[in-house]
Amino acid sequence: MVFGLPLAVPLAALSSDITNLAPQITSRGWEEITFDDKTPNTYVSCGDNCVEINTSNSVSMIGMEVGIDLTRTPILSWDWRIENPVIPSDLTTKGRDDRAAVLFVTFPYNPNTATFSEKMMRPVVELARGPDAPGRVISYVWSGFGKTGDEVESPYGGASNVMVVCRNKEAPVGAWVSERVDVAADYQRIFGAAPRMVAHIFLSADSDD
C-alpha cells in the first residue's frame, strides 16, 4: 500500500533498529519499529512525502516524533492507496486483526486526565517502553473490518488505544483515497478530554495473520 502524507512540522527520529527502510525514508526522519519473531514490512519512497509499504505475512511500523500542537493545527490529512483487495479481519481479536494500512497518532501521557486503570498500568508501560511512552493512541485504519466510522478498542491496548475505521473492504483498490480528520475532535469524543499535543506519527501494514 502507499501513503502520501505531507507533514509540515519539525521532525526528530525515534530510537530503534533500522533494517528495512530505503535511504530516502530514513533521511526524512522515519525509523522502523519491529516485533520479535515477526517478519518486518519493507518501506520505500514513492516521491515527495510518499511512502510505499510492502507487506506479505509481515508486520512492522515506521514512526517519527512530531510534537504537533493540536490547539493550533488539529487537522490531519493524507492520501492512501492499496494495490490488492483487503481480506476480512476482526480488529477486536488478537491473531485476526490484519490491516491493509494504518496511521497511528500517539499522545503524551497526562496523569491529570488518565483513567484509574491507565494510572495503575503506567509503571508497567514505562518499565517496558520508557518514561516517554505515549499515554493514548488513535489509529486510523483501512481494513476488512466493520463499517466506515466504526470505533473499536485495540485488543492489545484496550481503552487507551482506539481504532477508527476509515476504509473497509468496500473501498476502491488501486485508486488514491483522500482522508481529512480532526484529531482534536476525535480525541475529545473518544477519551472525553481536550488534547494538547501529538507525540508521534506511525505508519504500518499488518499481514502476519
pLDDT in tens, the chain (209 residues): 555 554 333 222 233 333 467 777 777 788 888 888 899 998 988 887 888 999 999 999 999 999 999 999 999 999 999 999 888 899 999 989 899 999 999 999 999 999 999 999 999 989 988 998 999 999 999 999 999 999 999 998 899 999 999 999 999 999 999 999 999 999 999 999 999 999 999 999 999 87
What torsion do the CA atoms of 152, 56, 205, 160 make, to the nearest 10 degrees?
40
Q: What is the CA radius of gyration of the chain?
A: 16
- The domain total for the chain is 1
pTM of the shown model: 0.88
Those residues whose C-beta lies under 8 Å from the C-beta of residue 124, and which sit 6 or more positions away, are none
Domain span at 58:
2-206
pLDDT of residue 199: 94
Neighbours of 144 (CB within 10 A): 19
pLDDT value of position 2? 58
Residue 1 pLDDT: 56
